[in-house]
Amino acid sequence: MPEQKPGRLHIAIVGYGTAGQAAAILLSRDGHRVEVFERSPSLGPVGAGVLLQPVGLRVLWEMGLLEIALDHGRRVDRLFGETPAGLPVMDMRYANLDPRIYGLGMQRGALFSILAAAVNDEVQVHCARRIISCSEDGRRIEDDAGCSHGPFDLVLGADGSTSLLRVSAGPPKLDRPYPWGALWCLLDESDWAFPHELRQRYVRARKMIGLLPVGTRPGDPTPRLSFFWSLPTARFEAWSSAGLAPWLDEIRALWPEAHGLLDGIADAAQLSRASYRDAIPRRWQRNRLALIGDAAHAMSPQLGQGVNMALLDALALRDALREASSVEAALAGYEQIRRRHVRAYQFWSRWLTPLFQSDLDTIGALRDLAFHRLGRLWGMRGLMLRVLSGTQLGWLGKVVLPEPFLAVLEHAGRADPAGSRLDSSVVSNRRENHGQFPAS
């Protein structure tokens, strides 16, 4: 007998980050019964700022959340990096790929709040539930208190880069921490001279300072900048013990304009620490378990694609469940589609990381000499911009963004280059049954 398409499913989502929130919104809207299990005792964002690329913005457009995202985010037209001596290392402008597109810097708190407000009231969210394993058939999960939850028709592992459910899909091909992390905080944008650019400054590959405009958040109208300082995780404690004075003096020498923004930093505790992993599961799904977000493809932040890929995962999974003949077929199709997109990004992220975060001075010097020149070559420039915008698909293909979505971005750009409230009739021009991203 032919299998019937999945009907209303009882779905457990483990993790309430961007991937978990987006999946909860999209799947509950399709009529599925959704329960979320979050290990933190209370709900809230982790991190300072993110750069939403056109592919991520397209997902928010599909969800009907683009208008409010543009309201709070800050339009980013350019990514520029240089040495303290003023030697350009990287200079990428979205307009060189398509004049209608751009990135959107957002506070993680703003994105979290926007997604949380869109979660259906019928979605049950269980806090302080640290899920440590999933049964062989993917229908039950167990927390660290020994309690079993389920059975479910589907379990989604959205528990981040340090996922405990990753191994339940099978032994991973690779799962290791990166030796380098970052310190970060939010600063007042004040009179910062580059409100629509991600600015970075490098000292070989050993030191990297970055400032990303991230706009406002619900309840706080003050525009902010996301500040980050690259640092090996093994040196976090030594940095804290040394006190702020020598570090601030170092920033003043490397980037005087950035130093002035840090006047309000008086204690090392005001900067949070971030660490990263490189994880490649051999499988993204097994029976009734599927991995999404960083649980499926944790990578270095060099390409800034984590949040965007999480949003794309949630959308692809929803579409697969709509179209497949069974849950198992849907999960297999979801993995095939998303692996094709993510695989190349993991490869580039792994090989680019030593160019920007390492103790390899020779590699850093070669980067300073060659990277900007490569970006000016016609073919290489297009590739770099497609990778930046998330529109590179595999090694040769590209994601084709829908024309109605591009029209919305173009309209927003004409109305206000910072991104402003759009005419609701324009924003609501969405494709509800768009199918998968076409490739050309």
SS3 category, 262: helix
What pLDDT is recorded for position 140?
98
The answer to whether residues 276 and 161 touch, using CB atoms and an 8 Å cutoff, is yes
Q: What is the pLDDT of residue 119?
A: 96
Q: Say if residues 270 and 185 touch (Cβ distance below 8 Å).
A: yes
| Beta-strand pair 10-14/154-157 | parallel
Q: Which long-range contacts (CB under 8 A, 24 or more apart) does 28-33 make?
A: 28/119, 28/120, 28/122, 28/123, 29/120, 30/318, 30/321, 30/322, 32/8, 32/321, 33/8, 33/9, 33/122
**Whether pLDDT at 88 is above 70:** yes
Alpha-helix runs per DSSP H in 135-288: 236-241, 244-254, 256-259
Mean pLDDT (whole number) for 159-181: 94
| Per-residue confidence (pLDDT) for residue 420, from 0 to 100 | 42
What is the spatial distance between Cα 36 and Cα 416, in angstroms, rounded to a whole number? 37
Domains of the chain: 10-75+105-177+279-354+402-427 (3.50.50.60)
What does the pLDDT look like over 369-409, one tens digit per residue?
999 999 888 889 999 999 999 999 988 889 999 999 999 99
Give pLDDT, residue 5.
63
- Average pLDDT of the chain, as a whole number: 91
Can you tell me whether residue 375 is helix, strand or coil? Answer: helix
CB atoms within 10 A of CB 27: 23
Interhelix angle 18-29/306-323, nearest 10 degrees: 20
Mean pLDDT, rounded, for 403-417: 82
Sign of the Cα torsion 298, 299, 301, 307 reads negative
Arithmetic mean of pLDDT, 310-314: 98
Confidence of residue 96 (pLDDT cuts 50, 70, 90): very high
Whether the per-residue pLDDT at 158 is higher than 70: the answer is yes
pLDDT at 174 over 70: yes
pLDDT at 48: 81
Is this structure's pTM higher than 0.85? yes
The pLDDT assigned to 114 comes to 97
CA distance linking residue 137 with residue 134, whole number of Å: 8
Residue 330 has pLDDT above 80, yes or no: yes
Write down the pLDDT at residue 416: 56
Rounded Cα gap, residues 200 and 195, in angstroms: 13
pLDDT exceeds 80 at position 424: no
Q: Tokens 């003043």 — which residue? A: 252
pLDDT score at 427 = 44
pLDDT mean over 289-312:
94
Q: What is the pLDDT of residue 378?
A: 82
Whether the pLDDT of residue 426 is over 70: the answer is: no
Whether the pLDDT of residue 429 is over 50: the answer is no
Helices 18-29 and 54-63 pack at an angle, to 10 degrees, of 30
Higher pLDDT, 5 or 8: 8
